[in-house]
Structure 1
Amino acid sequence: MIKLGVIILSGEADFQNLELSSTGEIEFLEINNNDFSIVQTIDGVIIVDEHQQSISKSCGLITQLRNHPKLLIWMYGKEISEVNRLIYLQLGVDGNITEKEKQELFLIVRNTVSRIKQNKKENKELHLFKLHKKNQSVLTAEGKEISLTNLEFKALNHLCQQPGQALSYSELSQGIWGENIEQYRPRLANVIFHIREKLEQEPYNFHVIKTVRSIGYMFVPPV
């Protein structure tokens, strides 16, 4: 669902009857032009000056809304002169919409917002830390695959199952060897050392394993 705020300065704009609105692809929310608290929760804003009678107010609003760099902004009027179009674009709107272009340009709005959302999703997924169990490897933020030994993979997998929580040396020893073997702490430290050596070459994975003094180790997911 794409959420677009609507600020009406003059006239009225019935966007609810648009095909995209009726199919549930776009939701229109009317915004008080003195209250921008909602802009953090929406994808874009349409400033409606249907008869182009409030140009100075429109310019002021555009300038204010540009303080939210991630917000998309469109200007709507029944007709918009070439001069006004250029002014709005110079101030930072993403497009001008007129009555005869309404349906076509809302498809452009839909496509623009959808593409941005997809890019955000892909970027977010890009920075996730992923274990590849079958290959006993780690997929890094950049898509690089780092191979681990059996012990290294077991240790990392055990830590990843409880992110942000310190696991004791004993717990990790059980997870790797299935029992508390003799001198498990130095052997465990050696395994962790080699994991870090491999992972910390990648910028997004730097310091994903944190030492918790007198307790053990903790997995800190990369961001």
Structure 2
Amino acid sequence: MSQMDIFKLFFNHDQRLDKLAKRNANKTKEEIEASLADFMSPDPTYSKFYITGTRLENEQFGLNTLSKYEAVVQQLNRTFTDRTIHTALGRFDSLPKAINNIDIGQIVILSSEAESEYNFDVLEIDEDSNVGHKKEALSEVLKEGDYVLYKEQAHHGFDLHLFSMENIYPILFEHLQPLVDNDFRFFSINSKRMGSERHFYFETWTLDHPPHGAEEVFAKTKI
């Protein structure tokens, strides 16, 4: 099998932000009235992006297994040059440094603010939960207009999971597309159309005929 990077950008837009917040059946009258007011106004939404890859010749799964991993993260760094990089370890001057220094399960907050008062402990992935992300805490960060990037466990390394109120797909596409070449194939994937683990790893069995929802990005592809 040829030596090749398979880079995958999963996207999921228009997720209702209130789905991240905690549900409570024992609401007060005031909370019910507030909920009704919220119901009558447009639902705030968020987007999420799962960034992963496969080193195809030996089926190594994880973004950091790619030969172009460092180039991918450098392009992500260029995507967010106007934001301050906050972690539980403090601020970093580049995204690659932040990602390399935090542990799996920890996060990077990409903020328009130079200072951060977030409690990173409550934002880390909850290993005791079948959901993983502590949703109410995540929701509060997104409402501030910040982006949250999780370093998540993969089979042979780690992946990145990005959340934002904005749909930042166009700027991600713009910065990642230039990496495409004969040894780096880029697939843009609608998560809503990938219903199984087999679909998630389609590159292992149907690379040249990807399932519906997975579109290959070429050097001349337009959004």
Point out the structure with the larger helix share. 1
Radius of gyration: which is bigger? Answer: 1
Q: Greater strand percent: which structure? A: 2
Give the shorter-chain TM-score range. under 0.3
TM-score, normalised via structure 2 length: 0.20
Instruction: Point out which structure has higher relative CO (alpha carbons under 8 A, 6+ apart).
Output: 2
